């Protein structure tokens, strides 16, 4: 039976809590209510209130408590109810958790789960994609799964990792994406991209929900005889540079796509690396597609205009292919 993206994350967390008694959860409304998106439903009843901890509405306290618990041998999974509010815990994450390994070789095995992204008409405070803030911070690992298989494998890998991991879950994928996933134990390696779709004429480098917009665009372009390769990064820190460059050298034309706003985004870093290390393989400029530099609109028609989509990708792809 196919498993949803949401249920895959839930299964991964549940299995890790069964496997290791040091894994525990904390966050707003995760216990009695079962989480805003119901990922932690039933976990309070199974694991008890010492391992499923409802917290006050204080993201800084949630992450700070997680860091302290990790110093005492525990492996906390902290939920930020909406990724937008992770900014309230910014100091704890970037100035403390990210620096401990460097300062005194102290592991900080925490996972900060952050439901992110648009497409749900949540407006400017419940729809952001803030991954670029953390990609700029050495010491963190930043994970953005697109598939149910990867969501489960990566949440398990993140829980087992001894460094702080920020785990961005795209809300629009929670119940939309379904696939068959193995029932046995497995993990997906952090920092390793995968080729989501093989192609020869054009590469699209992307992650998260944009993988599916890229795939829809690739299907349209296939009808025109154009073969598109899609690289799903899966992890945006560390970036799998090898897989990106291999695809670019294969196709010679590349689009870098992300849902987050354009300026200072992950796409700028990828574009720079491609230009520095694969310039001789390019037959056209590196093209970025992203959201415009404005807050996420609440109005459904405005949000639709704001978000990158297959039609915008097809238009840019045709331009690049004709360059």
In a domain, 184, yes or no: no
Do 170 and 209 belong together in one domain?
Answer: no
Residues 125 and 268 in one domain: no
d(CA 237, CA 249): 22
What is the SS3 assignment for 77? strand
Q: Is residue 287 included in any domain, yes or no?
A: yes
Ranges under pLDDT 50 in the chain: none
Q: Is 126 a catalytic residue?
A: yes
Q: Are residues 165 and 34 in the same domain?
A: yes
Domain-ending residue, one of 179, 208, 227? 179
pLDDT at residue 145, as a whole number: 98
What's 68's domain CATH number?
3.40.50.970
pLDDT of residue 124: 95
Tokens 């991964």 found at = 12
Starting at the edge strand found earlier in the chain, the sheet holding 165-170 runs 52-54, 23-27, 75-79, 111-116, 165-170, 141-143, 235-237
Give the pLDDT of residue 1. Answer: 85
**Residue 139 sits in the same domain as residue 245:** no
Owning domain of residue 54: 3-179
- List CB contacts of 304: < 8 A, sequence separation 6 or more: none
Residues 150 and 229 in one domain: no
Q: Are 313 and 259 in contact (CB under 8 A)?
A: no
How many distinct structural domains can be found in the chain?
A: 2
Distance in angstroms between the alpha carbons of the first and the last residue of the chain: 45
pLDDT at 310: 98
Whether 175 and 198 share a structural domain: no
- Residue 230 and residue 147 in one domain: no
Is 188 within the bounds of a domain?
no
Do 210 and 128 lie in a common domain? Answer: no
In a domain, 245, yes or no: yes
What gap in Å lies between CA 224 and CA 303, rounded to an integer?
29
Domain identity same for 201 and 161: no
* Same domain as 128, residue 12: yes
Predicted pLDDT of residue 184: 85
121, 126, 136, 258: the catalytic one is 126
Same domain? For 174 and 243 the reply is no
167 & 217 share domain? no
């Amino acid at each position: 039976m196919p498993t949803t993206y949401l249920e895959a994350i839930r299964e991964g967390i549940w299995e890790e809590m069964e496997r290791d008694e040091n894994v525990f959860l904390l966050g707003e409304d995760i216990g009695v209510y079962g989480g805003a998106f119901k990922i932690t439903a039933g976990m309070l009843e199974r694991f008890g209130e010492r391992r499923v901890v409802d917290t006050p509405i204080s993201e800084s306290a949630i992450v700070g408590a997680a860091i302290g618990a990790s110093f005492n041998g525990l492996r906390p999974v902290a939920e930020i109810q909406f990724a937008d509010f992770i900014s309230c815990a910014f100091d704890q994450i970037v100035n403390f958790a990210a620096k401990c390994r460097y300062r005194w070789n102290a592991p900080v095995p925490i996972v900060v789960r952050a439901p992110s992204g648009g497409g749900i008409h949540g407006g400017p405070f419940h729809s952001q994609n803030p991954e670029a803030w953390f990609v700029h911070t050495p010491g963190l690992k930043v994970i953005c799964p697109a598939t149910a298989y990867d969501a489960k494998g990566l949440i398990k890998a993140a829980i087992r990792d001894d460094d702080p991991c920020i785990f961005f879950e795209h809300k629009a994928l929670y119940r939309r994406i379904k696939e068959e996933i193995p029932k046995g134990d497995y993990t997906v390696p952090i920092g390793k991209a995968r080729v989501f779709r093989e192609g020869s004429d054009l590469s699209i480098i992307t992650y998260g929900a944009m993988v599916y917009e890229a795939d829809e665009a690739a299907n349209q372009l296939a009808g025109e005889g154009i073969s598109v390769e899609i690289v799903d990064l899966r992890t945006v820190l560390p970036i799998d540079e090898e897989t990106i460059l291999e695809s670019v050298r294969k196709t010679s034309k590349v689009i870098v796509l992300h849902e987050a706003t354009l300026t200072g985004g992950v796409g700028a870093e990828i574009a720079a690396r491609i230009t520095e290390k694969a310039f001789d393989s390019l037959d056209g400029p590196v093209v970025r597609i992203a959201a415009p530099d404005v807050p996420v609109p609440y109005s459904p028609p405005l949000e639709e205009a704001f978000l990158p989509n297959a039609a915008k990708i097809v238009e840019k792809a045709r331009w690049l292919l004709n360059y």
